[in-house]
Amino acid sequence: MQIIKMKDWGLGIDTSKPVIISGPCSAESEEQVMQSCLGVAEKGAQILRAGIWKPRTRPNSFEGVGSEGLPWIKRASKETGLPTTVEVANGRHVYEALRNHIDILWIGARTTVNPFAVQEIADALKGVDIPVMVKNPVNPDLPLWIGALERFSKVGINKLAAIHRGFSVTNSKPYRNLPMWHIPIELGRLVPGLEIINDPSHICGNRHMLAGVSQKALDLTFNGLMIESHINPDVALSDAKQQVTPDGLGELLGRLVTREPVSENPMFTANLEALRSDIDKLDREILELLGKRMEVAREIGQYKKDNGVTILQMSRWNDVLSSRIEQATSFELSEEFCKAYLQEIHDESIRQQTDVMNRSEAV
Ligand code: PEP
Ligand code: MN
């Protein structure tokens, strides 16, 4: 995939620092858009956002003001000198956004999930030179996210970026949408050169967790943050709990620490290398032990098979889980991590025992 980076989008975006995209979840009135956007521009936002058409879970809730709101955000753009971005979900939205000279389009999570909708938008953009930012699909499906980016690439849109807004899964607590950081990290590995913006607002679903998630995103080398901001969040017509005032945005940004992805300091490099070689050695030992553990699991599989016994004994699995989790806490490992790790090992052990069970005995 050929990708043109944000600094070369011709919109004056400065990527030497995290790119802040901000503005209301939804455009509600001209005054609300103007006040929110002028406010966030003062606090360092580089791109203005506003939802014009809102994909809502249930009907009869506020579904956006529609095209009427596009001139409002353009007016905010004119007064601040900042580029604008809106979400488009179909060909008509694209037509309206282009007609109103919106600078950047974004694809929402509920659209990325649908290849027909993404293709319709991509087809509407054939021959148009406009940047597109693609949010992750609602479900944790990385190929679907990459597929959406590819659909734009195939129609000649090279000014591309991704937005990580978390995944809608059961048990996302304490988040609204579970970040599953390994997915955007893997996206960055598979699509080199792709810039990824983090959207802490839709990950958190509340204001008080925004700072922690934003800092984590910067420490994971995300290229910027999309943060919803409303002049009066408590009366917002959508996502009231997660929006911050422009002053709140300023405070949040002021607290963030930006660190460098690399250091030229030779002392630092030497010490880091020494610590990393410890990690390399430990990883090797862990893998060796896991290999040995699976060897025993296969032996157990054979023994169960010879005696006509099932692979799973629930009481044993319960004991393994509870005793290991108890041990793990004394090694400063979290219960969550230990449980997830044991489940992975157990899955592999079951898979290996199943192989043994299914193997036809040599005669
Ligand atoms: C939004 O940015 O307001 C929005 C609707 O987000 P998402 O597509 O991530 O749900
Ligand atoms: Mn929103």
Dihedral, CA of residue 227, residue 231, residue 233 and residue 234, to nearest 10: 170
Q: What is the pLDDT of residues 102-123, one digit of tens each?
A: 999 999 999 999 999 999 999 9
- Please list all protein residues whose beta carbon sits less than 5 angstroms from ligand 2, which is an ion: 25, 239
User: What percentage of the chain has pLDDT greater than the value 70?
Assistant: 99
What is the CATH number that goes with domain 19-255? 3.20.20.70
How far apart, in Å, are the Cα atoms of 212 and each of 138, 259, 331? 22, 15, 25
Report the mean per-residue pLDDT for the chain. 96
Mean pLDDT value across residues 224-241: 97
Q: Is 109 in the pocket of ligand 1 (CB under 6 A)?
A: yes
Distance CA 37, CA 65 (A): 17
Nearest CA to ligand 1 atom 6: 108
Domain boundaries 266-358, CATH class: mainly alpha
Nearest CA to ligand 1 atom 2: 25
Task: Examine the pLDDT at 169 and tell me if it is beyond 80.
Answer: yes
Residue 362 is predicted with a pLDDT of 62
Q: What is the pLDDT of residues 334-356, one digit of tens each?
A: 999 999 999 999 999 999 999 99
Q: Is 165 in the pocket of ligand 1 (CB under 6 A)?
A: yes
C-alpha 320 – ligand 1 centre gap (Å):
41
Residue 309's identity, in one-letter code, is V
Nearest CA to ligand 1 atom 4: 108
- Find the range with the poorest average confidence among 50-64, 100-114, 211-225: 50-64
DSSP 145-194: HHHHHHHHHHTT---EEEEE--B--S--TTSSSB--THHHHHHHHHSTT-
Given pLDDT bands bounded at 50, 70 and 90, which one contains residue 266? very high
Nearest CA to ligand 1 atom 8: 108
Task: Examine the pLDDT at 56 and tell me if it is beyond 90.
Answer: no
Q: What is the pLDDT of residues 172-197, one digit of tens each?
A: 999 999 999 999 999 999 999 999 99
Task: Examine the pLDDT at 363 and tell me if it is beyond 60.
Answer: no
Distance CA 97, CA 105 (A): 8
Distance CA 76, CA 133 (A): 21
SS3 107: strand
User: What percentage of the chain has pLDDT greater than the value 90?
Assistant: 96
Distance CA 50, CA 232 (A): 15
Q: Indicate the domain borders of the chain.
A: 19-255, 266-358
Q: Is 24 in the pocket of ligand 1 (CB under 6 A)?
A: no
Task: Examine the pLDDT at 142 and tell me if it is beyond 60.
Answer: yes
Residue 318 is predicted with a pLDDT of 96
Q: Is 204 in the pocket of ligand 1 (CB under 6 A)?
A: no
3 state SS for 200-231: HHHHHCCCCCHHHHHHHHHHCCCCEEEEEECC
Q: Which ligand is nearest to the CA of 205?
A: 2
Cβ proximity of 40 and 245 under 8 Å: no
How do strand 160-164 and strand 19-23 relate by DSSP bridges? unpaired
For a pocket test of ligand 1, which of 47, 107, 165, 241 has the largest count of ligand atoms closer than 8 A to its C-beta?
A: 165
Mean pLDDT value across residues 45-65: 93
DSSP state of 136: P
